[in-house]
Amino acid sequence: MTERDFPLAGKRVFVAGHLGMVGSAITRVLRQRGCAVLTAPRPGVDLRRQEEVERWMRAERPDAVFLAAARVGGIWANHTRPAEFIYDNLAIQSAVIEGARRAGVGKLLFLGSSCIYPKLATQPIAEGELLTGPLEPTNEWYAVAKIAGIKLCQAYRRQYGCNYISLMPTNLYGPGDNFNLQSAHVIPALMHKMHKAKVSDGAEVVVWGSGAPRREFLHVDDLADAALHLMEVYSGEEQINVGTGRDLTIAELAQMIGEVTGFRGRLAYDRSKPDGTLRKCLDVTRMARLGWRAKIDLRSGLADTYRWFVGAEDALRMRAAGGR
């Protein structure tokens, strides 16, 4: 049994990025476990601004921080807005990590992404692959910032003795995801396109790339559960991978989303759009040794996400119809 050397129950916990998909899932689980959740007001505290973050954290004095705030987006958003992806992420993590040190925060968990690993890393990707080769160019802006975040935590641990740790999730999906077609990741993008096609009797949905790349997907509720677990049991320098350890092709994923949404038309592959890295699947042995495994299977996670999306769409439509 893994020992809980930092039990969260009863602690004051700052969730940076509480409005995002990951932050809101972590917030939900923390509240269920009896923690006092602190969130930075927006507008009021811009997480990219060191002074604003420090002032707020010194006043609030959290015991622990989940650093889930980030500029995130799919392959197209990274490709077209590189400056935002590198600057915003560097600024947010520097401000929050330094703010945590100055406010005397006992423990901080930094959330990264599996795209920190080299494009040609051995699959499934183990933690030791970090910085062993060139990155996938379509998201290197974001990846470089996230690698710097891991290094910040390691440096603060070595120089200041701060118990700051890093978690690298695989591709995430779930309620609260970004369904905007220009900036979404593949699951919300395909779900949105197939839903639109279904309700308007569209015959075809365009899938970007060749359909051949392989990806691994983790439901955000599983990720939140993993983040709390790691915060309670782990105090090491190396980043820890969190995923399911299972991947599938984009074509297989598209078919599964078709089944979940009830779209029965054709899938057309647009090869002018980038495939990105050919395979991305994490080795989750370390997390398993730390006593955690993913519980939500992809099909039921997709169904849950689709229910949420349809509900959110209906709410938006009703608000528009009501003039608000």
Distance (Å, rounded) from C-alpha 48 to C-alpha 95?
6
Q: Which residue is nearest to ligand GDP (CB)?
A: 74
Distance (Å, rounded) from C-alpha 292 to C-alpha 226?
7
Distance of CA 299 to the CA centre of its chain: 19
Site for ligand GDP in 204-233 (CB under 6 A): 207-209, 213, 215
Question: Minimum CB separation from ligand GDP for residue 134, in Å?
Answer: 16
**DSSP label at residue 47:** T
Nearer to ligand GDP, 64 or 197 (CB): 197
Nearer to ligand GDP, 163 or 244 (CB): 244
Nearer to ligand GDP, 118 or 236 (CB): 118
Does residue 205 contact residue 268 with C-beta atoms inside 8 Å? Answer: yes
Distance of CA 9 to the CA centre of its chain: 24
Question: Minimum CB separation from ligand GDP for residue 96, in Å?
Answer: 23
Kindly state whether residue 186 participates in binding ligand GDP, applying the rule CB under 6 A: yes
Question: Could you tell me how many residues of this chain bind ligand GDP (CB under 6 A)?
Answer: 21
Instruction: Tell me if the bond preceding 213 is cis, omega within 30° of 0.
Output: no
Question: Minimum CB separation from ligand GDP for residue 8, in Å?
Answer: 30
Of the candidate spans 146-154, 224-232, 274-282, 298-306, the one that interacts with ligand GDP by CB under 6 A turns out to be 274-282
**Which of 115, 55, 305 minimizes the C-alpha distance to 195?**
305
List the structure tokens of 123.
Answer: 């699959």
Site for ligand GDP in 73-112 (CB under 6 A): 74-76
Kindly state whether residue 189 participates in binding ligand GDP, applying the rule CB under 6 A: yes
Of the candidate spans 58-66, 127-135, 186-194, 297-305, the one that interacts with ligand GDP by CB under 6 A turns out to be 186-194
Look-up: residue for tokens 């602690």?
11
Active site residues: 142
What is the signed CA dihedral for 289, 290, 291, 292, rounded to 10 degrees? -100
Please list the residues that pair with 36 across neighbouring strands. 12
- Residue 186 makes CB contacts below 8 A (sequence gap 6+) with 74, 171, 208, 215, 250, 253
Look-up: residue for tokens 């602190």?
38
Beta strands in the chain (DSSP E): 12-16, 36-38, 64-67, 107-111, 163-169, 171-173, 204-208, 214-215, 217-219, 240-242, 248-249, 266-270, 279-280
Nearer to ligand GDP, 6 or 208 (CB): 208
Question: Minimum CB separation from ligand GDP for residue 313, in Å?
Answer: 17
Kindly state whether residue 190 participates in binding ligand GDP, applying the rule CB under 6 A: yes
Question: Minimum CB separation from ligand GDP for residue 123, in Å?
Answer: 14
List the structure tokens of 63.
Answer: 């015991």
24 to 63: interface string for ligand GDP, x by CB under 6 A? ----------------------------------------
Instruction: Tell me if the bond preceding 124 is cis, omega within 30° of 0.
Output: yes
Kindly state whether residue 121 participates in binding ligand GDP, applying the rule CB under 6 A: no
Of the candidate spans 4-12, 103-111, 181-189, 314-322, the one that interacts with ligand GDP by CB under 6 A turns out to be 181-189
Q: What are phi and psi of 113, to 5 degrees?
A: -165, 155
Distance (Å, rounded) from C-alpha 72 to C-alpha 88?
10
Of the candidate spans 16-24, 81-89, 270-278, 297-305, the one that interacts with ligand GDP by CB under 6 A turns out to be 270-278
Of the candidate spans 5-13, 182-190, 256-264, 311-319, the one that interacts with ligand GDP by CB under 6 A turns out to be 182-190
Kindly state whether residue 194 participates in binding ligand GDP, applying the rule CB under 6 A: no
- Positions touching ligand GDP (CB under 6 A) are 74-76, 115, 139, 171, 184-186, 189-190, 207-209, 213, 215, 250, 273-276
